[in-house]
Structures are given as structure tokens and as C-alpha cells.
Amino acid sequence: MLQVNDLHVTVEGKEILKGLTLTINAGEVHAIMGPNGAGKSTLSAVIAGKDGYEVTQGSITFEGQDVLEMEIEERAQAGLLLGFQYPVEIPGVKNIYLLKSALNAQRVARGEGEMPAPEFMKLVKEKLGFMKMDASFLQRAVNEGFSGGEKKRNEILQMLVLQPKLAMLDEIDSGLDIDAMKVVADGVNSLRAEERAILLVTHYQRLLDYIVPDKVHVLVDGRIVKTGDAELAKELEANGYEGIEESVA
Amino acid sequence: MSDTQTFLDTLATRSQQRAGEPTWIAARRQAGAARFDAMGFPTRRDEEWKYTDVRAIAKGNFALADNAEFSQAQAAAITLPLDAYRLTFVDGVFSAALSNVDALPDSVQVMPLSKALTDNHEAVGGPLGRLTGVDFSTFAALNTAFMEEGAVVRIAPGTVVEKPILLQFLSRAGTPVMSHPRILVEAAGRSEATLIEHYVGEADAANFTNVVAELMLDRGAILNHYKLQEAPIGDLHVASIHVEQNRDSRYTSYNLNLGGALVRNDLISDLNGQGAETNFYGLFFGQGRQHVDNHTKVNHNAPLTFSNENYKGILDDRAHGVFNGKVYVKRDSQKIEGFQSNQNLLLSDRAQIDAKPELEIYADDVKCSHGTTTGQLDEDAIYALRTRGIDEATARGLLTLAFAGEVLEKVALDAIAERVELAVAGKLPERFNLAGLVEAAAALND
């Protein structure tokens, strides 16, 4: 589904990713772990298309398409969706507008018609219920004045409504208490499907107790230095990244 | 021929005292005409008119409408669907057929000025022109010269008027006409009411409306005043609104301007008694070559008075906006608070805004602030929306709507908030057009 090959990325002249290679297949849940500054967030930002990241070498393909040639919105319409570590507050833009415009943009891009209003409302209400969110929330501005936990729930809600093919979640667990983390994890787990893949970027193993990955990659200094199964995350929790970094050096 | 002469010639065709009118009205009209002639139309050399060129009015030749014909169906299609006490004026002429003030309680009077001048002239003779004298401006003098129609609203002490009072002014296509509506509101002590002025009309109209509103709030009175200006795109619109506030009264203005080729609003509140509070919320959206000028002034004439102002402008194409907001604090009016904010969003390189906040303070124990910003849309928010699959044009449209939203969320009347939201969405450049989205979202709430 997603192939990242020998990716080199510089930000403001500094090389952050130094030859990262990663393959994600449909049906898989991957976790990328690593110390601060290793380049975890850079990877998801480059895949989503954020400005300011220069790809100097390598490629990213998604279902055979060259991601780096696609507009930001085309990536999302194709099914590549990023859940932000720090969701942006958008004063005045109601959640309902965001959800409806986003869903319809995706449907129109796929050649489907816009979803009829009653069907849309039914879908949104069901997903709101799943995320334990109140319907009044739809009339609130996107993330404005939301607590950290509400912002993260909102990211997952968008995923549940938009049903991406590849959901990338950047530090989705940061700032969550244990109850909120369970709700968020339930939301992510409900996305697990044969035709879908999930990429978790996280600093802590804690999240992976709730969302058990098929593969764990350790990202250190711009490269994936080790890949294993869920057990690898537990080793990291016990021994830290230092052991890994030493073994690489 | 001078510019004023065209108007005076038209005036000469009207009788100075109509049947049943009191004798004083002729003298008032003549005084207005004389002052108008003496002052002449302002030019851009006048400080108050530095950014607004009124030649489109001065050089115009406007007749006076002689009837109020307008079909019920057409009116229903463009007016606000509100349960309200309603007076309708068509090109300035009162339409009984399109009005309904039945079921008004005895403690509230809502009547056309023409009726007040014949039936109740003792009551209106004093207040009429007390706040807006002929010296205020050329346009106030001109309005006085032609003063014959408009609305008189009088609310008895302690009365809470449950339904809004809606004054709607419809502008017809055809030979350009002018109208000079006069609005007089006397809100007695502790009364509470909502007043709506609504300007709307036929798309091809090109008329000149020159309205004067005098609003008097006695002790503890509350008046929520909506002005929804959706005049046809060829209309010329000048308004002078004076508010007088006694002790503990609260006035809130929602000045929403979407229409008109040339628009000038002067809004002035005099806070004359302790505890008086005034709130000015404004939104203007200009596109094409629209020119929208808002001049506001708050006079803190008494200590312990409060003002709060938030004006937002959205300008596209070659539209030109003007915001001039003054806060004046009279000598030794201590413990006052005056806050003012003006934010403008320019959607095109050729759109223009002249923003001038002014503070004039002659007391030392006051809390005042003002700020004005002009900018473009937030690029981080555009990125965030695009990562959800929303194309850039739609993202910009959503954010423009959101910019207006900060003022619209203050609007307590949903029918007006939704109407303006829809109008803003629909007036966005075609590729930003979100009218369908707003309608669908509104339907979802039902």
C-alpha cells in the first residue's frame, strides 16, 4: 500500500531523514518508535505534504501513485490521512462544516456523489457516540478551546467518518489521561480492517498496550534501525533507546 | 446647476405642509433645505469624508416614488421570515398591505411617521430632530428637508416587547428614486425591545436611501438594534444613527452590511448616565467595486459608562472599506471602559481598507483599548483543512465564513445570523461558494 524508499528529507538545510525505507501493506498496523529528534514527525508531515520539508532523495508511493507529486488534498482524497500531534484550532469553522466538506470532497474525487444529508447525519451521530462525544460538539469551532483529550478524540472522529485507507497517527497518545486513551484506542482499533493500514508514531510503549501493532520500527537519527513485532516495543520500554543506538553504532 | 439644486427642485414639487400635518413641519423642512443648500455635498477634502466620494449621489437625479406597489409573493421571497411587528416601506412609501402591527400591546406604539405627523404630532414634535439636527451633516439636513415618512416607535416604561419590531425598506428596479426615511424610537425606563431595520430589494434597483434614526433610551432601557443592509448592488445608502442613553441603559447595535454600491453609516452613541453601556458589532462584506464606509463614535459623557466595539470587514475584488471608530471620554468621566477592535480580511490584492481608530480621552482613570488589523487567511488552518481532502479554494471559503462568524455568533436572532452566513457564503467568489454547505448544515440542525 505505502512504500517509502531511501527517503532523505531536509528542513531548513538540515538533514532529518537520512535514507528511510518502509513498506506498509493493507491490513497491517505499524508503529514507529524513537527518541525525540529522530525524525518521527517529519516522516508523517512529508507524507501529508506539509510545506518546508525538502525531499532530496528517495520516493514515496501510495497504491502505485507518486505521493510527492500529489497536492495535499489529493493525498487525503486518495485515502492518506494524518492525525496531528497538535491539532490546529480553526476559530469559526464548525466541525460539521469540516466533516461534511471533507467527506464530500473525498466522495466527489472518487466519482461518487455527495452523501445525502440524512445519511451523513446518521453516520456522524453514530461515530460521535462511539467516541463518547456530545452532538453539540458539531456546532463548535474545530478544536477551539478543546482540551488536549478532546482534540485527539476529534482527530479520531474525523478518521472514523472519512475512513482512510492509511491512517497515520502522530503521537496520538500525548496529553491523554488513561480514560481518554482508552476511548482513542477503541476508535483506532475499530478502524482495523483487511483493506486498511494504520501507522502509529509514538514515543511511548504505553499506547501499544491498547493498540497492538503487527510491526514495530525503531527510528534513530533519520533511519529505521530495527524492525520487530509488538515484543520489540516492550524491550524498548524496558531498556530504552540507548541500547539500540549503541548496537547500531 | 449646482448639485444641491437638482434635489431642491425635486423638493419644490412637494407641498411643504400636507393635509393634516402640523404647521411646525413646514418650518423644519425649510430649515433642512436651507442648511442642505448652504453646506452642499461633502467632498474628499472634508476630513469626515476623506475616503468616501459621494459624487454618485450628488450628480444623481432621483425622483420620489408615488406608490408602494410590491407583490406579496415577491416581498415574501426577499424579506425576513420572522414573527415580528412589521412596517414596510417601498422606495420610502409606506405599504399598509405589507405591514402588520396588529396585536400590538397598548404599551407599545409602532406607526409610520406619516400617521404620527397627522394623528400624534404633539408627541413627535419634540423628539424629532433632537439628536440629529440639520447641522450634523448634509445628509441629515437633506433628510430633514424631505422628512415625511419613516417609523415612530414608542415603548412605555417597564414594557418588554416580546416580538421584534421589523422595519423593512424595499428598493424597486426602474427609474432611480430617493427616499429619506426617518426613524424615531423612544424606549422608556426599563423597557426592552428588539428593533430590526432591513434593507433589501430587486436586483436591478439603483435607488438612493438616506435614513436618519434617532434612538432614545431612558433609564435602564434595553434596545437591541439590528441593521441588515442587503440593498441591491446598485443602491446608494447613507445612514445617520444617533443613540442617546440615559443611566443604566444598554444599547447593542448589529450593523451588518452586505449590499449597496456606496454605503455610509454614521453610528453615534451618547452615554449620558452612569451605568450606560453600548455595544457595537459590525460586519461588512464588499466585492466588485462596492464602497462601504462605517463611521462610529462613542461619547462617554458620564463616569462609569461602558462601550465595546467589534467591527469586521471582508473585502474582495476592488471593493473599498472604511472604518473610522472614535471613542471620546469627556473631561472627568472617570471609571469608564471603552474597548474597540477592527479586523479586516482582504481577499484580493486590489481590495482596499482605510481603518482609523481614534481615542480622545480627557479623564485619567479609564480603561480603553483599541486595535485594528488587516490581513489574509491563516495558512496553518488552510493546511489543516487541506489534509482532510478539502481543496484550497473551499478551505479559504470556510475560513472567510469563519472570520465573519465571530461577529455573527453575537447575533441572537438565528433568522438573521443564518441569513447573513448564507449571504456571506453565497457572495464568496464562485469557486469558494459554500451556500449549499451552509444550507445543508442549517437543515441538519432542524
Is B389 part of the contact surface with chain A (CB cutoff 8 Å)?
yes
Question: Which residues 67-86 of A are in CB contact (within 8 Å) with B?
Answer: 71-73, 75-77, 81-82, 84
User: Which chain B residue has its CA at the smallest distance from A95's CA?
Assistant: B441
Distance from CA of B81 to the nearest CA of A (A): 23
**Between B378, B390, B402, which is nearest A101 by CB?**
B390
- According to the model, what pLDDT value does residue B431 have? 43
Give the pLDDT mean for A164-192.
92
Q: Dihedral (C-alpha) B272, B50, B256, B341: value to the nearest 10 degrees?
A: -60
Strand (E) or helix (H) holding B307: strand B306-315
In this prediction, residue B418 carries a pLDDT of 86
> Chain B within 8 Å of A50 (Cβ-Cβ)?
yes
Bridge partners, A5 (sequence order) = A59
Q: Can you give the pLDDT at residue B432?
A: 47
Per-residue pLDDT tens digits for B293-348:
999 999 999 999 999 999 999 999 999 999 999 999 999 999 999 999 999 999 99
B233-290 confidence digits (pLDDT tens): 999 999 999 999 999 999 999 999 999 999 999 999 999 999 999 999 999 999 999 9
| Tens-digit pLDDT profile for residues B154-196 | 999 999 999 999 999 999 999 999 999 999 999 999 999 999 9
**Is B388 within 8 Å of A76 when comparing Cβ atoms?**
yes
Name the minimum distance, in Å, from the CA of B434 to any CA of chain A: 9
Which residue type occupies A75? R
* Greatest alpha-carbon span in chain B: 71
Q: How far is B266 from chain A (nearest CA, A)?
A: 28
- Return the CA Rg of chain B: 21
Q: State how far the Cα of B428 lies from the Cα of B362, in Å rounded to an integer.
A: 43
Q: Alpha carbon of B411 to those of B227, B252, B439: distances in Å? A: 11, 10, 18
* Closest-approach residue (CA) in chain A for B435: A97
B392 touches chain A (CB under 8 A): yes
Q: How confident is the model at residue B435 (pLDDT cuts 50, 70, 90)?
A: low
Spell B392-402 as b/e; 16+ CB within 10 A means b. Answer: bebbbbbbbbb
Q: How far apart are CA B390 and CA B398, in angstroms?
A: 10
| Mean pLDDT, residues B208-219 | 98
| Cα A168 from Cα A66, distance rounded (Å) | 18
Contact (Cβ atoms closer than 8 angstroms) between residue A197 and residue A213? no
User: Does A55 contact chain B (CB < 8 Å)?
Assistant: no
- A15-46: pLDDT as tens digits: 999 999 999 999 999 999 988 888 988 999 99
Taking 60 as the threshold, does the pLDDT of residue B371 lie above it?
A: yes
% of chain B surpassing 70 pLDDT: 95
Q: Answer whether residue A91 shows pLDDT above 90.
A: no
Average pLDDT over residues B226-230: 97
Is residue B430 pLDDT above 80, yes or no?
A: no
Encode pLDDT of B398-427 as tens digits: 898 889 988 888 998 988 998 898 888 775
Q: Report pLDDT for B1.
A: 55
What would the pLDDT profile of B165-176 be if each residue is shown by its tens digit?
999 999 999 999
**CA pair distance B372, B351, nearest whole angstrom:** 17
A87 and chain B in contact, CB less than 8 A: yes
| Distance from C-alpha of B109 to C-alpha of B127, rounded to nearest angstrom | 15
Residue A114 confidence (pLDDT): 85
For residues B138-143, average pLDDT:
98
A88, A91, A105: residue with CB nearest B384 = A88
Q: Chain B: residue nearest A94 by CA?
A: B402
Q: Under an 8 A CB cutoff, do B399 and A90 touch? A: yes
Q: What sign does the CA torsion over B342, B237, B212, B409 have?
A: negative
The answer to whether B432 faces chain A, any CB pair under 8 Å, is no
Closest CA to B34 of B107, B132, B141: B141
Do A203 and A237 form a contact (C-beta atoms < 8 A)?
no
Mean per-residue pLDDT for A87-113? 90
pLDDT at A61 over 70: yes
Residue among B313, B193, B324 nearest B251 (CA): B193
Q: Are strands B320-329 and A197-202 parallel, antiparallel or unpaired?
A: unpaired
Chain A residues inside the 8 Å CB shell of B391:
73, 105
pLDDT at A214 over 80: yes
The mean pLDDT value of chain B amounts to: 93
Instruction: Collect all residues with Cβ–Cβ distance below 8 Å to B259 and sequence separation of at least 6.
Output: B199, B200, B229, B230, B231, B232, B233, B235, B237
Determine the residue of chain A that is closest to B433 in CA distance.
A101
DSSP classification of residue A38: S
Residue of B nearest to A89 (CA): B381
Residue type, B264: R
User: Closest Cα of chain B to A36: distance in Å?
Assistant: 23
**B153 or A173: whose pLDDT is higher?**
B153
Confidence of residue B17 (pLDDT cuts 50, 70, 90): confident
Angle (nearest 5°) at CA B53 between B51 and B174: 140
Euclidean distance between CA atoms B129 and B182, whole angstroms: 10
Residues in chain A: 249
Contacts of B432 in chain A (CB under 8 A): none
Please say if the pLDDT value at position B437 is more than 70: no
Alpha-carbon gap, residue B346 to B270, rounded angstroms:
32
Residue found under cell 473631561: B331
DSSP A116: P
Q: What is the pLDDT of residue A137?
A: 86
Asked if residue B231 lies in contact with residue B200, where contact means CB atoms within 8 angstroms, the answer is: yes
Look at B389 and A98 and tell me if their CB atoms are within 8 Å. Answer: no
> Is beta strand A2-11 parallel, antiparallel or unpaired with respect to A53-62?
antiparallel
Positive or negative CA dihedral for B112, B116, B119, B123? Answer: positive
Confidence band, pLDDT 50/70/90 cuts, at residue A249: very low
Does A246 score more than 80 pLDDT? no
pLDDT for B203: 94
Q: Which contiguous run of DSSP H or E holds residue B293?
A: strand B291-300
All 3 cell numbers of residue A152? 485527539
Could you tell me the domains of chain A? 2-248 (3.40.50.300)
Q: In which band, very low, low, confident or very high, does the pLDDT at B74 lie, cut at 50, 70 and 90?
A: very high
Of the candidates A87, A102, A138, the beta carbon closest to that of B389 is on A102
Return the higher-pLDDT residue of A206 and B52. B52
Are B94 and B139 a contacting pair, CB within 8 Å?
no
B437 touching A (Cβ < 8 Å): yes
B195 touches chain A (CB under 8 A): no
Distance between CA atoms of residues B446 and B436, nearest Å: 16
What is the Cα–Cα distance from B413 to B419, expressed in whole angstroms? 10
- Nearest chain B Cα distance for residue A42, angstroms: 15
d(CA B243, CA B217): 8
Using an 8 Å CB-CB cutoff, list chain B residues near A92: 399, 401-406
Residue B262 contacts residue B236 (beta carbons within 8 Å): yes
Are A100 and B404 a contacting pair at CB < 8 A? Answer: no
How would residue B440 be classed by pLDDT, with cut points 50, 70 and 90?
low
Which ipTM score applies to this complex? 0.93
- Delimit the domains of chain B by residue range: 3-272, 378-446
